[in-house]
Amino acid sequence: EIVLTQTPATLSLSPGGRATLSCRASQSVGSNLAWYQQRPGRAPRLLIYDASNRATGIPARFSGSGSGTDFTLIISSLEPEDFAIYYCQVRSIWPPKDTFGQGTKLEI
Amino acid sequence: EVQLVESGGGLVKPGGSLRLSCSVSGFSLSSHSMNWVRQAPGKGLEWVASISSSSGDAYYADSVKGRFTLSKDNSKNSVFLEMNSLRAEDTAIYYCARDAWVAAHFLDHWGQGTLVSVSS
Q: Which of B5, B45, B63, B101 to mutate to test the interface with A (most CBs of A within 10 A)?
A: B45
Which H or E element spans position B42? Answer: none
* pLDDT tens readout for residues B72-106: 999 999 999 999 999 999 999 999 999 998 888 89
Could you tell me the pLDDT band of residue A69, with boundaries at 50, 70 and 90? Answer: very high
Q: What is the mean pLDDT of chain B?
A: 96
Q: CB of A92 within 8 A of CB of A2?
A: yes
Q: Which of A2, A37, A89, A91 to mutate to test the interface with B (most CBs of B within 10 A)?
A: A91
Q: Which of A4, A23, A32, A49 to mutate to test the interface with B (most CBs of B within 10 A)?
A: A49
d(C-alpha B47, C-alpha A95), whole Å? 13
What integer pLDDT is reported at residue B44 of this predicted model? 98
d(C-alpha A6, C-alpha A101), whole Å? 6
What integer pLDDT is reported at residue B103 of this predicted model? 80
Average pLDDT (A9-31) is: 97
Q: CB of B6 within 8 A of CB of B111?
A: yes
d(C-alpha B20, C-alpha B95), whole Å? 10
Q: CB of A37 within 8 A of CB of A47?
A: yes
Tell me the residues of B at the A interface, defined by beta carbons under 8 Å apart.
Answer: 35, 37, 44-47, 50, 52, 59, 61, 95, 97, 100, 102-113
Q: Residue B21: is its pLDDT beyond 90?
A: yes
Helix (H, G, I), strand (E, B) or coil at A96: coil
Could you tell me the pLDDT band of residue A93, with boundaries at 50, 70 and 90? Answer: confident
* pLDDT tens readout for residues B22-69: 999 999 999 999 999 999 999 999 999 999 999 989 999 999 999 999
What integer pLDDT is reported at residue A94 of this predicted model? 83
What are the residues whose beta carbons fall under 8 Å from the beta carbon of A106, sequence distance 6 or more? Answer: A10, A11, A13, A19, A21, A75, A78, A82, A83, A84, A85, A86
Residue from A103, A99, A104 nearest A33 by CA:
A99
Helix (H, G, I), strand (E, B) or coil at B113: coil
Backbone angles phi, psi at A53, to 5 degrees: -100, 125
Which H or E element spans position B115? Answer: strand B114-118
d(C-alpha B25, C-alpha B75), whole Å? 12
A46 touches chain B (CB under 8 A): yes
Rounded to the nearest angstrom, the minimum Cα separation between B55 and chain A is: 13
SS (H, E, C) B56-84: CCEEECCCCCCCEEEEEEHHHCEEEEEEC
In total, the C-beta contacts within 8 angstroms joining chain A to chain B are 74
